[in-house]
Structure 1
Amino acid sequence: MPVSSFFRRPDPDAADVNRQNTLVLIMFFAAGIVFLDRFGITFLFPQIGDDLHLNHSRLGSLVSITAVTWAISSLIFAVVSDRLGGRTKWMIVASLVLFSTAVGLIGLAQDYGTMLLLRAVIGFCEGPALPLIQGAVARASSPDRRGRNMGIVIAGTLLIGSALAPSIMIGLATALTWRLAFPLVAVPGIIVALLVALFMREDHTARADAPRLKARDFRLVLANRNVPLALAGTTVCLGTNIGFGAFAPTYLHEEGLSRSTATLVLTVYGCVIALGSIITPAVSDRVGRKPALFAAAVCSGLVPLFFVLFAHSVPLLLASLVVGLMAGGSLTLITYVVPGESVPRELMATAFALQIAVGETLGGALGPQLGGALADATHSLKSALLLYAAAPILLAVVALLIRETAPRIGKRTPARQAPEASGEAALS
C-alpha cells in the first residue's frame, strides 16, 4: 500500500454530509426545546385552569398571545438576519437563552394577567428561533436532502414538543406541582444554546460575498405565486395544529380518560406526527411537493375527526392515528420547503418568517381563540375539534394551486437562482 494513502485527506463530500448531519441533529434538539417550552403549558391546562380559575377562552388566549408576539418578532429578526447576510448563530443562541429564562418564570404567575404577560414575552423571545434554524439548515443542505433535513428539524418540534411533552410536563407537575415544572423544563434550552454557541460556525467567506439586501428586494418574496398561496396554507395549517394541540389534552380529560391513558394517546400521537414530518417531506423529494402536500392536508383533517369519533375507544383511536404519518409533513412543506424553494436564497429567512408572521398572527392567534369561544358557546370541546377537522380542506385547495418546486420534478421560477447548498451554516 502506498505510503501516501496513510496521509490521504478525507473525502470532502463525506465531510460535507457529516457537517450537514451534525447541524441537523443540533437543530433538531433546538427546535424541539422551542416547542416544548411554547406548548408544554397546554398539557397542564386542567391543573392551571383549576388553580387560576380560567375558562376555555382564557386558556386559549394564553396560546394566542404567544402566537401574536412570536409572529412579530420572527419577522423582525429574520429580516435583520437577511439584511446582515444570514448571520444567525448568535441570534439563535440569544433566542434560546431568553425564552428559556422567561419559561422558568411562568411558575411564579399568581393570576391570569401575569401569566398572559409572561406568555407574550416567551413568544417574542422564541419568534426568531425557528425561521433562523430552518434557514441555517436549508442553506447547508444539498438540494436532494433539503426536504428531509428540514423535515427532521420539524420532527424535533413534534417529538420533543408534542410526543414527549405530555410525559415530561404531566410527570413533573404530578411529582412537583406545575409551578416547579416550568423552571425545570427551561434548563434544556440553556444547554442547547451552549451547544449551538460551541459547535455552530458560519462560513464568513460565503457571507462576505453574499449581496446585501435592499428594501426593494423584498418585493421578490411575494413575486412568486407560491408565496401568497403558502401564506394562506400556513395560516390554515398553524391555526389547525395550534388550536388542536391546545385543546386535545383537555378534550381527552373531559371525555373521561384517565391521566395515564390520555398521556399514552398524546404521546403516540406526537410520535406518529413527528415521524410523519420526516416521511412526508422525504417522499416529496421523490414524488413532488404538490401530491405530498395534498395527501398531508387530507390526513390533517382526519386526525381531529378521529379524536371525536374514537375518544371512548382507545384501541381504535390509537390505530386511526396512522394517518399522522402523512399529516405530520404538512407544516414543513407549506411553511418552509415550498416558500424556501420559491424565493432567492438571500431572502430565504425572510420568506420563512413572513410565513410564520402571517400564519401565527391569523391562524395561530385565531385558531385557539375561535376554538375556545366555540367550545364555551356550545359547552363542548367537540365543536372546536370538528372545526379543526374541516379547516384543512382549504390547505388541500392550496396544494392543488401551487407550482411544483421539487428539484427533481419541477423547474424553479424565482427571479434569481433558488437556494442551493452553500455551507453558510455548518459545524466544525
Structure 2
Amino acid sequence: MGDEQRKSFYRYENGVVLMMFFTFGFVFMERLSVVYLFPFIAPDLKFNNAQLGMIVSVLAICWSLSGFVFGSVSDLLGSRKKVLLPITLAFSVLSFLTGLARNFGSMLLLRGLMGVSEGPVLPIAQAAVVAESSEHRRGFNLGFVQSSLGLIGSTVTPLVVTAAATRYSWHVGFYFVGIPGLVMFFVLLKWMRDPGKRLVQSQLQTHEHRLRREDYPVVFKSRNVWIAMVISAFMMTWLFAFSTFAPTYLTGHDKFSPDAMGLIMAAMGLGTFFWGFMGPYISDKWGRKPTLILFSFIATLAPICLALIHASVATMMVIGFLTTAGQACFPLFMVVVPGESLAPKYVGTAVGLTQLVGEFIGGTAAPSIGGIAADHFGLAAPLWIAAGGALVSGFIAFAPRETSPIRTRRTVVTDGGSTTSV
C-alpha cells in the first residue's frame, strides 16, 4: 500500500464510520439479547408471550422518545460527542443490571431505562457520519454503520448469549453483552471528535444553497421526512414483529434446539449485515427510490418463508440469509433520504423524528399486538403481521422524491421538499 493510499485509508472519515459501526452494533447486541434469551427467561420467571411483547415495547417507547429528544439536543449543542459518551456508558451499566432482574416489574423498568440510554445512539452516530462523509460514498457509509445491527446484533449476539445461557444462565448472557459498550466508551473518549468549524460551514453552504431561510421547523416541512416517517412505522412493524417472535417460533413451533435456533438467527443476522450496506451501496449507483421499493417488497419474504417452510437447519440458514435483504431499506428511509433532504445540522433531529414514529408505532405496538396474537392464534400470527408491514411499505416507497446525488445531479432538495437548480 503506497503512502497516498495509506493516508487515504486512515483518514478520519473511515475512523468515524468504524467507531459508529461498533457503537451502534453493541447497542443492538444489548437490545436483541432479551429476545434471544427469552426461551431461557420465560420458564425461569414464568413470562408469557404477551409479557415478552410488553418488555420489547417498553424499550421501544423510551427508545423512540429519547432518540428524538437527545438527537435534537445534539443538533442544538452542535456536539455529538458530549451526548454520545454518557449514553454509551449508561446502556452498558444497565445491561449488567438487567442480568439481576428477578421479576416482570424489575425487567420492565430496566428495559425502559435501557431504551432511554440507547435511543439517541443512531441519530447521533449517523449525524456524525453524515458530517464526515464524501458525497459519492454517503449511502455506503450510512448503510455500513447501520448494518452493524446485523453482524453484531443479529449474528454474534444469538451465538454468544445462547451459549452463555446454556452453559451458565440467562443472567450471564446480559453480563457478557454489557462489556463491549464499556470498551467503546473509552474508544470514543479518546478518538471521537466533533466536526471542525470549517467543515460544518462548507457543508452548510453546499446543502443550503439558495434556501430562503433555515430554522428548526424546517425539519417538519420536508415532504421526504414525512414519507420516511410513514415508511418507518410499517418497516419497524416488520422488523419487530419478526425479530421478536422468530426465535420463539423456531424453538416453540418448529422444535429446533436453542443452539440450532441460534445458528439460524445468526445466518439471518449475517444477511442483515450484508444487505444492510449492500443496499445503500446499490442506491449510490441506482438511486434511493428504486432501491427502497425493491427491497421493501423483498422484505415480505422473510416472515412468510419462516411461517411456511419447515426444513433442516442448513436450509433455514440459507433462506434466512437471503430473505433478510429487506434490511437494506432501513439506512435509506431512516437516515439517507431524510439526511439528504435537509442541511447537515438537522440530521440528528430528522433521524430522531423518523426513529420516533417508527419505534413508537412499529417497535411499540407490533410486539405487543404480536404477543397477544401469538397467545390467541398461534406463534405464526406475528409473522403474518410482519409481512403485512413490509408489503405496505413497498407501495409507500413510490412516494418520496429522489435525493441521490447521482440521480438529482444539478438540483438541490429544499427544506419544503421542492427542488432548485444549482
Q: What's the TM-score once normalised by structure 2's chain length?
A: 0.91
CA contact (8 A) 1:237 1:363 kept: yes
Amino acid at match of 2:159: S
Cα deviation code 1:367-398 (max 9, x no counterpart): 111111111111x1101111111211111112
Amino acid at match of 1:154: Q
Amino acid at match of 2:285: R
417 and 374 in structure 1: CA distance in 2 versus 1, 3 angstrom threshold? closer
CA distance in 2, matches of 1:329, 1:405: 17
Residue in 2 that maps onto 1:294: 293
Residue in 2 that maps onto 1:387: 385
Cα deviation code 1:104-152 (max 9, x no counterpart): 1011111100000000000001111111001101111011111101111
Residue in 1 that maps onto 2:108: 116
- Matched positions, count: 404
CA offset at residue 244 of structure 1? 1.0
CA contact (8 A) 1:281 1:332 kept: yes
Residue in 1 that maps onto 2:40: 47
Alignment of 1:17-416 (within 5 A): 18-85=11-78, 87-206=79-198, 217-254=215-252, 255-324=254-323, 326-378=325-377, 380-410=378-408, 411-415=411-415
377 and 412 in structure 1: CA distance in 2 versus 1, 3 angstrom threshold? farther
The farther-off stretch of 172-181 and 185-194 is 172-181
Amino acid at match of 2:288: R
312 and 324 in structure 1: CA distance in 2 versus 1, 3 angstrom threshold? closer
Unaligned runs of 5+ in 2: 205-212
Cα deviation code 1:297-354 (max 9, x no counterpart): 0111100111111134444433333534631211111111111111122111100000
CA contact (8 A) 1:252 1:311 kept: no
404 and 54 in structure 1: CA distance in 2 versus 1, 3 angstrom threshold? same
CA offset at residue 184 of structure 1? 2.3
Amino acid at match of 1:318: M
For the residue of structure 1 that corresponds to 2:380, the secondary structure is helix
For the residue of structure 2 that corresponds to 1:412, the secondary structure is strand
CA distance in 1, matches of 2:23, 2:230: 27
CA contact (8 A) 2:229 2:357 kept: yes
CA contact (8 A) 2:74 2:80 kept: yes
For the residue of structure 2 that corresponds to 1:198, the secondary structure is helix
CA contact (8 A) 2:62 2:115 kept: yes
CA contact (8 A) 1:99 1:125 kept: yes
CA distance in 1, matches of 2:310, 2:154: 18
408 and 377 in structure 1: CA distance in 2 versus 1, 3 angstrom threshold? same
CA contact (8 A) 1:147 1:281 kept: yes
The farther-off stretch of 334-343 and 12-21 is 12-21
CA offset at residue 209 of structure 1? 5.4
CA distance in 2, matches of 1:13, 1:172: 40
CA contact (8 A) 1:277 1:325 kept: no
CA distance in 2, matches of 1:258, 1:383: 21
For the residue of structure 1 that corresponds to 2:406, the secondary structure is coil
For the residue of structure 1 that corresponds to 2:342, the secondary structure is coil
CA contact (8 A) 2:238 2:388 kept: no
Cα deviation code 1:235-262 (max 9, x no counterpart): 1111211221111100000121122221
46 and 16 in structure 1: CA distance in 2 versus 1, 3 angstrom threshold? closer
For the residue of structure 2 that corresponds to 1:218, the secondary structure is coil
CA offset at residue 17 of structure 1? 6.5
CA distance in 2, matches of 1:395, 1:412: 26
Amino acid at match of 1:149: N
For the residue of structure 1 that corresponds to 2:219, the secondary structure is helix
CA distance in 2, matches of 1:171, 1:414: 51
Amino acid at match of 1:381: L
CA contact (8 A) 1:82 1:349 kept: yes
The farther-off stretch of 270-279 and 403-412 is 403-412
For the residue of structure 1 that corresponds to 2:404, the secondary structure is coil
337 and 208 in structure 1: CA distance in 2 versus 1, 3 angstrom threshold? closer
Amino acid at match of 1:303: A
For the residue of structure 1 that corresponds to 2:341, the secondary structure is coil
CA distance in 1, matches of 2:67, 2:388: 28
For the residue of structure 2 that corresponds to 1:251, the secondary structure is helix
Amino acid at match of 2:100: L
Task: Indicate the RMSD between aligned Cα atoms, in angstroms.
Answer: 2.2
CA distance in 2, matches of 1:192, 1:156: 14
CA contact (8 A) 1:236 1:391 kept: yes
Residue in 2 that maps onto 1:6: none
CA contact (8 A) 2:237 2:385 kept: no
CA contact (8 A) 2:275 2:326 kept: yes
